[in-house]
Each structure stands twice: as structure tokens, then as C-alpha cells.
Amino acid sequence: MIQSLVKASLVLDYLRKESRELTIGEISEKLDLPPSTTHRILRTLIAIDYVSKDEKSHLYTLGPGLIPLGFAATSFLNPQKETQKILQELSQLTGEDSFLIIRSGKKGLVISKAQGKHPLKIVENFGKEIDLHWGAIRKVVLAFQSREFIDDYIKEGLSSNLKGQINENELKRELEEIRENKIAISHSEYIDNACGIGAPVFNYSGELLGGLGIVLPMERFTDENKDNFIASVKSCAEKLSASLAYTGENDRISL
């Protein structure tokens, strides 16, 4: 590993994360680099337009030379291909059918699916729109909408699920927990004897792409495999978010 390249990449990444003008002192302190080393790295990055320096203030920001690199990298991203690959990975890890669900108005819509190994399945059909407060994966999608959207959604009236009438305050508390833990679990809400586990997927700008998860018969959701299922769903959702260049620093969620 070429240490100078590693250090240069750390400098660029720090400038990206801070998204503001920085002094040499701030950069060297944060990255635990000697000021002389930081200065040498910045001088090199300036020479290739990866960093810009304000000669009056002596502050540094990312430079215009990175723009074509960013566009080039983006052109190689294939969200649909990455989504299918990670859904297949989730199905292999859990043995269950896995899904990616997005918001369509006030409903949740299945747009991608991978098959698990079990012949007994819970049917989630492509193109069928279902209320966002039904089931774990759709609740994830609802939980990460803006406060205004959630308030309007609830105000319009909540359709009953298999458990009966929905309590507004209980739903709000559940959505808060989903936002905090980035995981949702449901039991027999719109399919009898079915269990769902969902986690959020974000894109490069911190916007919610959708909910990723599994749906399975409750008899296969046991104390022995519960933790593994939850960890697998959460891990695959995070992996899909990372493949879409999400960094977790600028979530665009107005709560």
C-alpha cells in the first residue's frame, strides 16, 4: 500500500465530509498528520486541481478537477444490478424471499425481488400497491418520510389491518423507533401468519430510496434465527446504500 496515496485520500475525504473551507491546521489535527506533510499533500493536490486554495485566506476546499471523476464514477453505477445482487445475497443469508419496496404516492410498491430456498412462500406481487403502515418494509418507507408527510398520511385516516383499527399514537411511536434503530419488524399485519423485517436504503444525497427486507411465515421466525435475520437485513440495506454512494452524513429527512 502506498502510504502517500492513502494520506492524500484521507485529506480529500475530510474536505468532502466537512464541505467547507479548512485551514492546514484543522486538516493536520483531524487526520493526525504533521503540518509539513499536510502542506506537501495539499500542494500536490492543488497542482492537479483536486484541491483549491484561496490565496487571501489560505483556506482549502475540494477543487474542480474532481468533478469529471465524479461524473465518470457515477456512470458506472448500476442501481438495478446492485439491488438485485444484494437482494440475492440477503436471500442466501436468510433462506427467505427478499424485497425492495419504494413509495408510490401514499402506498408501498415492490420493485425488486429475490427468491429464497423455501417452497412455502409469502406472496408479494410486483405492481401491487399497499398502504405504507402495513408491514415492516413499508413502515420503514413511511418512517423516513418528512414529518409533514407522516402527519398528512395519518390525518387522511389509517386503514385497519388484520389486527384491527390502528392507534395513531402507537403508530407514531413505532415510526420513531424505526427511525432510531433503522429496523422494523411486523407480525401478521396484512398477511395472516406472516412476519416481515425491513431496513432503510438511502442514496448518495441522503434521500430514502426505499425499504429492503424479507417476508416469511411466522413459523420460520424463531428465537434461534431472529438475531441473524435482523442483522442480515440491516447489513444488506447498509451495503446497498453504500453502493449508491451514501455516506450517512447528510440524511435529507425533515423530522
Residue 69 falls inside a structural domain: yes
Residue 178 falls inside a structural domain: yes
Q: Are residues 125 and 149 in the same domain?
A: yes
DSSP annotation string for the chain: --HHHHHHHHHHHHHHHH-S-B-HHHHHHHHT--HHHHHHHHHHHHHTTSEEEETTTTEEEE-TTHHHHHHHHHHT--HHHHHHHHHHHHHHHHSS-EEEEEEETTEEEEEEEE--S-SS-----TT-EEETTSSHHHHHHHHTS-HHHHHHHHHT----BTTBSPPHHHHHHHHHHHHHHS-EEEESSSSTTEEEEEEEEE-TTS-EEEEEEEEEEGGG--TTTHHHHHHHHHHHHHHHHHHTT--SS------
Residue 126 falls inside a structural domain: yes
Report the pLDDT averaged over residues 175-190. 93
Q: Are residues 68 and 91 in the same domain?
A: no
CATH code, domain with 31: 1.10.10.10
Report the pLDDT averaged over residues 79-102. 89
Is the pLDDT reported for residue 249 higher than 90? no
pLDDT at 199 (0 to 100): 97
Rounded Cα gap, residues 205 and 199, in angstroms: 18
Q: How confident is the model at residue 101 (pLDDT cuts 50, 70, 90)?
A: very high
128 vs 239, which has greater pLDDT? 239
Condensed to tens digits (0 to 9), the pLDDT of residues 199-246 reads: 999 988 888 999 999 999 999 999 999 999 999 999 999 999 998 888
Q: Are residues 155 and 70 in the same domain?
A: no
Rounded Cα gap, residues 18 and 25, in angstroms: 14
Report the pLDDT averaged over residues 64-77. 63
Domain termination site, one of 74, 93, 125:
74
Q: Are residues 68 and 82 in the same domain?
A: no
Query: Which three cell numbers mark 83?
Result: 439491488
Residue 253 falls inside a structural domain: no
pLDDT at 72 (0 to 100): 57
Domain termination site, one of 39, 74, 109:
74
Domain termination site, one of 51, 74, 97:
74
Q: Which of 71-85, 105-119, 166-180, 221-235 has the lowest mean pLDDT?
A: 71-85
Report the pLDDT averaged over residues 32-51. 92
Residue 254 falls inside a structural domain: no
Average pLDDT value over all residues in the chain: 86
Report the pLDDT averaged over residues 61-84. 69
Domain range for residue 33?
Answer: 3-74
Q: Are residues 95 and 66 in the same domain?
A: no
Q: Are residues 138 and 193 in the same domain?
A: yes
Q: Are residues 44 and 28 in the same domain?
A: yes
Q: Considering the entire predicted model, what is its pTM?
A: 0.67
Residue 249 falls inside a structural domain: no
Rg (CA), the chain: 22
Q: How confident is the model at residue 75 (pLDDT cuts 50, 70, 90)?
A: very low
Q: How confident is the model at residue 253 (pLDDT cuts 50, 70, 90)?
A: very low
pLDDT at 120 (0 to 100): 66
Q: Which of 164-168, 177-181, 248-252 has the lowest mean pLDDT?
A: 248-252
